[in-house]
Amino acid sequence: MTMTNYRFDEDFDYFIEKFGEPHDSVPIPESVIEAYRDKLPEQLFVYWRALGACGFHNGLLWMVNPAEYQDLLDMWLDGTSFESRTDLSVIARNAFGYFYVWSKGKGKVITINPNLNIVFFNPENDANNFSNSEEDFDMRCFWAFSNAKFLDETDESEKPLFARALKKLGQLKSDEIYGYKHRLALGGKEDLSNLDIVKLEVYHNIAQQMEPPQIITLD
């Protein structure tokens, strides 16, 4: 019998093979793990303890400390049908400020796009009722099936923006994103020339204050 040794597990090892080693790692305290023990799967805590909050693929995707994103998540969901839910946590974000939101026992149920002020809701995932082992596997799959192409933004000619933004503007820090200087909703163009490095928190606050988010339910 051939024994295979994984650094983490088959799925997360595959993710690291695709996205490269983590960078800008900041430890996530055990106090945060305890606070989120009833909100997130144990599998994620394994990654947190080993890697902390960190970036991958030169900042295209970030594993985050959800405690640092809770206020922004609450802001986006305020006044929506999700505002009273206590089971939602931001587990990751991309270079353009998208939030990927997990629900305990269900998986990724919400994606927030601050560039278009859209909250995408997945009712199929929200209907899940995972056991602990099933949810651990779903978390592994979240990372394994992450795709650089779909994490990227495209310009008006459908050309990917991330690599060009990285080359022109430099690599992001953990509290930064590539944001549009002139907002798309106000006529700004999806173009490299309209991107700049901005503070994530400021960008999200301005975006949400300009107009209430549109809720789009995925089929």
117 contacts 185 by C-beta, under 8 angstroms: yes
Is pTM beyond 0.85 here?
yes
Q: What is the mean pLDDT of residues 191-202?
A: 98
Q: How far apart are CA 118 and CA 184, in angstroms?
A: 12
pLDDT one-digit tens code per residue, 147-180? 999 999 999 999 999 999 999 999 999 999 999 9
List the domains of the chain with CATH numbers: 10-151 (3.40.1580)
Q: How far apart are CA 79 and CA 76, in angstroms?
A: 8
Instruction: Tally the residues of the chain.
Output: 219
pLDDT one-digit tens code per residue, 121-136? 999 999 999 999 999 9
Q: How far apart are CA 178 and CA 75, in angstroms?
A: 21
Strand partners, 62: 55, 93
Query: How far apart, in Å, are the Cα atoms of 156 and each of 74, 152, 206?
Result: 31, 13, 23
